[in-house]
Amino acid sequence: MNSINTKKAFNYYCMGLNSKEIAKLLDCSYRTIQNYMSSENWKDKRKKK
C-alpha cells in the first residue's frame, strides 16, 4: 500500500469507517488497514485533528 492509499484510508477512518469497510473501498486486506491503524497511531492522530 502506498502513501496515497494510506492517506485515503486515514481520511475514511476519520469519517467513521471501520477497517473492513476501508479495505473494501481500497481493495486490500482489512488486516493491512489494522496494521496501519496501530503502527501510525490513527486514534491519536484523529484526536489531534
In tens, the pLDDT along 3-42 reads 889 999 999 999 999 999 999 999 999 999 999 999 999 9
Looking at residue 42, its pLDDT comes to 95
pLDDT value, residue 11: 97
16: number of CA atoms within 13 Å, CB side? 0
Cβ(3)–Cβ(10) below 8 Å: no
**Does residue 1 carry a pLDDT above 70?**
no
- 49 pLDDT more than 70: no
